[in-house]
Amino acid sequence: MMPIRYADVQRILIRSANWVGDAIMTTPAVHTVRRTFPRAHITLLAKPWVFPVFENNPDIDELMIYETDGRHAGWVGLWGLAKDLKRRRFDLAILLQNAFEAALLAFWARIPKRLGFTTDARTVLLTERIRSWRLLQQGHLIDYYLGLLSGAGLTLHGRQLVLVINDKEGAAARRLLQSMGIDGNQLLIGFNPGATYGNAKRWLPERFAELGRRLSREFEARVLIFGSAVEAQLGRQIAAEIGLGAVNFCGQTPLRQAMSLIGQCDLFVTNDSGLMHVAAALNVPQAAIIGPTDPVATGPSNRVSRLVQVPGACSLSPCLRPECPILDHRCMTAVSVEMVMAEVISLLEQPQERS
């Protein structure tokens, strides 16, 4: 493979990952692309549900929505999108999404340089072919995405996540909290009791509720509960069990607004999910409860995160399954309220520098 001639690259298309957490973990790679090609016009193509991750990102010039459930559905929609991309005359496509479809789209769009990992039988569709070596696959996902760029000869520019909440969004979040009787002097703790990829990643709702009651009683904390519309009932249940100190935002806020509210929290307690990476990107101290997933690969990357897990609780861990394969959920039931509370207290007692 010939090194990419930087001077020849004026228009770049980046194909985003498809999940919120994964998309956040691509932001150091996007930053490296910006630093490598400071004068290029960078367009990022993303599914609608991850689009908010990249709003206000200073490393991106233009965002395009890939509407697989709308005008880009099916082969006809994919071909139409390819024709639209072809008209934009991109010089380089960087495929952070590993599927065959991502490479096919760039090929159909006749983008002359197509950089991606040789996964999913798409080698023939790529011009800049990078093998995903074993050590890279065993590391953190941030480094996996960066490995694509270093494999192509680009100089990396750090691992810092990029998620920008602007002043207007921050002020709106504070006004919303004030309208609910929450002032800036109260300890504000976010809960994220859901997880998109199956029940196996969810700590028990009754333990979230017990933790919330203790935090309300012992610290006079207000608890904000976050999640999607699918998790609305879960949020209502936990909020009702906590009592007056809790506010349920599950299904009530668009992603950008949820991000802004999480940015107002003093601490975040979460399962392994996209919002865990939101808190990490915003450098919010957090206790991340880990069960069937691999924290080496997808753990929160900020320095003020604590993992709460019981290594060895299950011989299959990390099984990476959406549902518990042995049905007793022991990797999560082994995590007690006392364990999480101890980490929360430790984080609250530790002076934090928020950026």
Domains of the chain (ranges, CATH numbers)? 6-151 (3.40.50.2000), 167-349 (3.40.50.2000)
Using the predicted structure, report yes or no on whether residue 160 has a pLDDT greater than 70. Answer: yes
Identify the weakest region by mean pLDDT among 2-6, 94-98, 202-206.
2-6
Better pLDDT: 274 or 325:
274
Taking all residues of the chain, what is their mean pLDDT, rounded to a whole number? 91
Q: What is the spatial distance between Cα 186 and Cα 247, in angstroms, rounded to a whole number?
A: 14
pTM tops 0.85: yes
pLDDT of 2 = 53
Strand partners, 224: 190, 247
Is there a contact between 17 and 44 (Cβ–Cβ < 8 Å)? no
- What are 245-260's pLDDT values in tens digits? 899 999 999 999 999 9
Identify the weakest region by mean pLDDT among 53-67, 122-136, 315-329.
315-329
Q: What is the spatial distance between Cα 236 and Cα 242, in angstroms, rounded to a whole number?
A: 10
Q: Which amino acid is at 150?
A: S
pLDDT of 96 = 96
Identify the weakest region by mean pLDDT among 2-16, 247-261, 278-292, 316-330.
316-330
Better pLDDT: 292 or 90:
90
pLDDT of 352 = 63
